[in-house]
Structure 1
Amino acid sequence: MNSFRFDHVIVGAGIIGLSTAFELLTRDVPAASIAVIDPAPVSGATRAAGGMLAPVAEIQYKQEPLYPLMVESGALFPEMLRRLSGYTSQETGYRTESTFVVAADRADATHLMELTDHQHDHSLHVQRLPLRHARAAEPALNPQLAGVVHIPGDHQINPSMYSATLLQVLRQTGVSLIDDTVTHLDCTFDEEGAVRHCHRVESDSAYFEVGASVYMCNGLGTSSVTGWYPAKELSPLKLRPVRGDMIRLRVAEGQEPPVGRVIRAFVEDRPVYIIPRTDSTIAIGATSREDMRTAPAVDGVFALLRDAIRIVPALEECEIIEITTGDRPGTPDDLPYLGLAGDNLVISTGYFRHGILLSALGAHAGADLGITGKTDFHISACDPYRHCDQRRKDLP
């Protein structure tokens, strides 16, 4: 087998792996010392993501440890995009219009107001908005809606465009993008059986000697990589696929998009969101299911179209161009796994529904850990060992 040597080896070329590589690059790590290994870049959850940078709208009850991470990552995004623009003029689809969240009926309005109160309790900026004011800004909204709130700081980015831009920058600067599948890590262990140091990454066709750090950013595939936990034990990561259906529409030639900002809605307690892109396409998503159907689900797609059209009737005049399904890497508590699993092994996976939003924080914290072994970000709740008995008390 071929053998190579890199200081920093990143496993996975989804949004987390690409962002981590870019973060290393902007910290003066030589591009030639960075490798990103993935047989199919941007083919997993990133491809089917909505791309909403929505730390306020995305909060859910009983996920309080996640709230500050979402807010902090959202605040990091503008600076990360500014640095990216220093390397290329390629578009990312970043839009800064505010977000509307609407309720279809009275029961949904009660849900929306209760959620708004919860957001206020956590010092998040949400404004109740009269429907007439919302329709003045977005005339295509259904006039029968039962409630609206305005979230000024929730924005969006186009995941396909953003990841393509990251890939272009990494290629043009000389980062090695390797089409291969990582299967095993060659690690040493301490007397208690916990991983201490990763020396080598093994793939289907090559060995990669590691000079500095390894970053496991390959989503659901992280659990299938062996060698970094005792052979007779199960992976410490409890990852599961949570599928989501996404519909892409195109505005008919000569017509204007029916909405100019992200519209999120509750329709008979079902969430739906409508995302107008800078390329005149519209994304509608997203279902959340844990079943055996790996392709788009009929019931999910039907519900998304029905609910979206109820909120914005003019969507009926658009064209369907694509329906996709993505497997989000979920964890038991819906928090990511982010931290050290050895003195040079960074785990950065399990971002569930928030991969795009949390990618800025994941990249910053991951680079911190890989370069210095510590980070100022408060990520203790994301401990990679929190769902197993193996714990490393000496690691941050």
Structure 2
Amino acid sequence: MSHHPSGPTSPPPTDPPTGGPGNGQLAVVGGGVIGWSVAWRAAVAGWSVTVFDPRPGRGSSWVAGGMLAPLTEGHPGEDALLELGSESLRRWPAFAEQLTAAAGRPCGLSAEGTIVVGWNAGDRAELARTVAYLAGRGRLVTQLDDDELRVLEPGLAPALRSGVSVPQDRSVDNRALLAALRAAADRAGVRTVERAVSDLDDDGVRGADQVVIAAGTGSPTLTGPLRSTGALPIRPVKGEILRLRARPGAVPGPRHTVRALVHGRSVYLVPRSDGLVVGATQHEVGADTTVTVGGVRDLLADATAVLPGLAEFEFAEHAAGLRPMSPDGVPFIGRLDDRVVLATGHGRNGILLAPLTADAVLADLHRSPLAEVAAAAPGRFA
């Protein structure tokens, strides 16, 4: 059974705005996917850009699965996040094309969609509720019977007899993306300073005409001096991921991103050129990035339950990162005052929302706010 989208879709984005060298000095605090996307696009638009980060490209963006999945991440009550994610996903093909050309290297965007499965009756019932929610929002979701499921992903466990295809939800290799963004930014003249910025009186930031805060879980510290808003309500949420590498003779990994509910736990398997990423746990434990035995055990157990052939893969990496979560899951994108623009609090959707966030920040820098990000207004909890 298929449900097709209704209503108009947004036109593809235009090329990044360009401008002369007179736009001024821009400081971007944070060197993850959001910070680098903003820095690259701002430099193309004529800003003189400096990125500040103690470990550029090695934060939560480095640990991410790279899913571009507004639909399969969609949940009832998160309508604003679904709309933001869908709008950004529409911008992703043009963003990737422009980035690849600017960087001189691929950014890792996959053409394949997503398959979603539920392990037991309770998992399938939860999946059915998500499908009903998406269908009610006019999104394309296609029910798959056993034969259709095997055609798309023959390596799935025999116990999985049905599923859902979500062809719009794609993925990108997060590390290829980071490398492409860094290369494009370097080519555009962005300067990188590898150190932390603790407040907006920092020597490197004080002289900038405009400041973009894209520092993830470190953003509330930076906005503290802004008395009109106080500290941002952003908290760290820990997520653990694994990387598995294909070995000669092993059953091939999945071609699509596979998302599953296994005894109520969510697991995703995202293909990479040499294997796949398995994630992700979610724990409210403060700023703890320790990889736990329980996290690794659950991810491996759920992944091999869904795709038994993964038992023959090499265990290549485990890592944990901190998602910067807002109270409603929606990021903070927009102007705080005449000098400071926020681009932070993206939670589990930073990579998905990078194109829209970059467009919105550039619009704010040029004093023409983007209506599509109204739900992400920084002052909504003031």
Q: Same fold (TM over 0.5)?
A: yes
How big is each residue's C-alpha offset from its partner over 1:152-211, in whole Å with a ceiling of 9 and x where there is no partner?
11110011110111111211332111112212225xxxxxxxxxxxxxxx15xx455123
One-letter amino acid of the structure 2 residue matched with residue 117 of structure 1 = A
**218, 222, 227: which one aligns with 1:225:** 222
One-letter amino acid of the structure 2 residue matched with residue 151 of structure 1 = V
How big is each residue's C-alpha offset from its partner over 1:60-103, in whole Å with a ceiling of 9 and x where there is no partner?
22111111100000010111111112223322221111210011
**Structure 1 unmatched runs, 5+:** 187-201, 389-396
- Aligned pair in 2 of structure 1 residues 161, 256: CA closer, same or farther (>3 Å)? farther
Query: How far is 1:294 from its partner?
Result: 2.6
- Aligned pair in 2 of structure 1 residues 276, 214: CA closer, same or farther (>3 Å)? same
Question: Quick check: 61-70 or 88-97, which moved more?
Answer: 88-97
Do 1:249 and 1:281's aligned partners in 2 also have CA atoms closer than 8 Å? yes
Map residues 71-90 of structure 1 onto 2, 5 A cutoff. Answer: 71-90=86-105
- Aligned pair in 2 of structure 1 residues 298, 234: CA closer, same or farther (>3 Å)? farther
One-letter amino acid of the structure 2 residue matched with residue 303 of structure 1 = D
Question: Quick check: 311-320 or 336-345, which moved more?
Answer: 336-345
When you count helix as a share of all residues, which structure comes out higher? Answer: 2
Aligned twin of 2:375: 381
**251, 262, 267: which one aligns with 1:272:** 267
| Other structure's SS at 1:95 match | coil
Do 1:35 and 1:178's aligned partners in 2 also have CA atoms closer than 8 Å? yes
How big is each residue's C-alpha offset from its partner over 1:350-377, in whole Å with a ceiling of 9 and x where there is no partner?
0000010011111110111012x23233
How big is each residue's C-alpha offset from its partner over 1:312-337, in whole Å with a ceiling of 9 and x where there is no partner?
00000001110000000011111101
- Is 2:132 aligned against 1:114? no
One-letter amino acid of the structure 2 residue matched with residue 29 of structure 1 = G
How big is each residue's C-alpha offset from its partner over 1:17-54, in whole Å with a ceiling of 9 and x where there is no partner?
0011122233x315xx1111111111221011111011
**240, 243, 247: which one aligns with 2:242:** 247
| Other structure's SS at 1:182 match | coil
Map residues 1-396 of structure 1 onto 2, 5 A cutoff. Answer: 7-26=25-44, 28-30=45-47, 33-186=48-201, 202-203=202-203, 206=204, 208-211=206-209, 213-225=210-222, 228-230=225-227, 235-253=230-248, 255=250, 257-277=252-272, 279-291=273-285, 293-371=288-366, 373-388=367-382
Do 2:251 and 2:310's aligned partners in 1 also have CA atoms closer than 8 Å? no
When you count strand as a share of all residues, which structure comes out higher? Answer: 1
- Aligned pair in 2 of structure 1 residues 219, 78: CA closer, same or farther (>3 Å)? same
Do 2:239 and 2:282's aligned partners in 1 also have CA atoms closer than 8 Å? yes
- Aligned pair in 2 of structure 1 residues 295, 322: CA closer, same or farther (>3 Å)? same
Query: How far is 1:228 from its partner?
Result: 4.0
Determine the C-alpha separation between the residues in 2 that align with 1:133 and 1:226.
Answer: 51
Determine the C-alpha separation between the residues in 2 that align with 1:38 and 1:105.
Answer: 44
- Aligned pair in 2 of structure 1 residues 182, 270: CA closer, same or farther (>3 Å)? same
Aligned twin of 1:394: none
Query: How far is 1:382 from its partner?
Result: 1.5
Do 2:240 and 2:281's aligned partners in 1 also have CA atoms closer than 8 Å? yes
Determine the C-alpha separation between the residues in 2 that align with 1:262 and 1:324.
Answer: 20
Normalising by the residue count of structure 1, what TM-score does the alignment of the two structures yield? 0.86
Rg (Cα) greater in structure: 1
Do 2:364 and 2:370's aligned partners in 1 also have CA atoms closer than 8 Å? no
Do 1:7 and 1:34's aligned partners in 2 also have CA atoms closer than 8 Å? yes
One-letter amino acid of the structure 1 residue matched with residue 65 of structure 2 = G
Identical columns (%) = 32
Determine the C-alpha separation between the residues in 2 that align with 1:258 and 1:168.
Answer: 30
| Other structure's SS at 1:50 match | coil
Determine the C-alpha separation between the residues in 1 that align with 2:132 and 2:294.
Answer: 32
Question: Quick check: 12-21 or 56-65, which moved more?
Answer: 56-65
| Other structure's SS at 2:372 match | coil
Query: How far is 1:282 from its partner?
Result: 0.7
Determine the C-alpha separation between the residues in 2 that align with 1:386 and 1:210.
Answer: 26
Determine the C-alpha separation between the residues in 2 that align with 1:77 and 1:257.
Answer: 28
**Structure 2 unmatched runs, 5+:** 1-22
- Aligned pair in 2 of structure 1 residues 207, 358: CA closer, same or farther (>3 Å)? closer
